[in-house]
Amino acid sequence: MVWLGRPPISSVFEYRGKVFSSGADPGEYTIANFLNHYTKQLPAGAPSGVTLPLSRGKDLNQAISGAKVQDLKAEVSRLIRLLSTSHYAGIRNEWKLVTLFIGANNVCLLCTPPMTRLPQLADVEAFEHHTRMALERLRKHVRKSFVNLVGLFNVSSVYEASRGDLYCEFVLDPAHMAICSCLQGNEEQRQASDLVVREYNSRLEKLAKEYQALNDSHFAVVYQPGFTIFPIAKYKQSYFSGIDCFHPNLCANQVMATVLWNNMFSTPQEKLEPYDLETLSFKCPGPDRPYLQ
């Protein structure tokens, strides 16, 4: 066995309380904690602590690691069921923040052998369809919701960030571990996957515009593109898991929380303004930007 300075697999948990979009661990950079700073009340259903890998969510964070857009139906069903219980009766008619960040696992199936039928799950039309169905169910059953549709970053940039790291080059060799077929494929496959990511993001933006055109006073959908310009390759492995060199680590979650927060208080023209991680600061709500957008 060769020890390369990485944590033992027994230390692997899902740190739900540190997740950028909903975590409630004290002192962590998360959207839930940022909201708590202004409201002086932690959002109901914000999870804290850890869960075992592949757990079916915790509190109102119903995301599952490895989920694909086709799994949104089950995730939304669990969310609707939870919100119908007496435990959450107090927020049923209050405004809620929903964040959808999904699609990377679909892209990762794009480069698997065609006979497995897995590449079909990465189809752009299927991605739009399942996202639309999730939004329709949220609009019908989870009224008074502001939905963030979060754009994806390119798979190729994750690969570039792994180059020069002995451990990551070993882990991302498909002969050693199956993590993401396109990431672990050849350059042509990685570039093809980037084109699919670009189209996914285009469909998310399209869906957001469609829902905005409805002028529904009790349901808002906004495309948040800040992650699409995250300068991943520049920082190598600083923002990736020490286990698989693929999933975002704690530092990445902190940056993602800040970027998403800033997007939520930015005009459409400001949302894609380049940012530098060393000087990244917060956009605070105030008289000039009092509402989520």
40, two tokens: 């002086």
User: How much is the average pLDDT of 249-270?
Assistant: 96
273, two tokens: 């303004």
83, two tokens: 């919100």
Q: Which of these, 40, 38, 88, 41, lies nearest to 62 by C-alpha position? A: 88
Interatomic CA distance for residues 171 and 128, integer angstroms: 32
Q: Which of these, 45, 44, 55, 47, lies nearest to 14 by C-alpha position? A: 55
Confidence of residue 2 (pLDDT cuts 50, 70, 90): very low
Q: Which residues pair with 148 in a beta bridge?
A: 99, 222
Q: Which domains does the chain have, with CATH numbers?
A: 18-39+56-264 (3.40.50)
Interatomic CA distance for residues 285 and 35, integer angstroms: 10
**How many angstroms from the chain centroid is the CA of residue 195?**
19
pLDDT, tens digit, 9 for 90 and up, residues 142-153: 999 999 999 999
pLDDT value at residue 233: 86
Predicted TM-score of the model (pTM): 0.93
CA torsion 255-260-264-270 (nearest 10°) is: 80
Q: How many CA atoms lie within 13 A of 271 on its CB side?
A: 22
pLDDT value at residue 6: 54
Handedness of CA 109, 112, 118, 123 (dihedral sign): positive
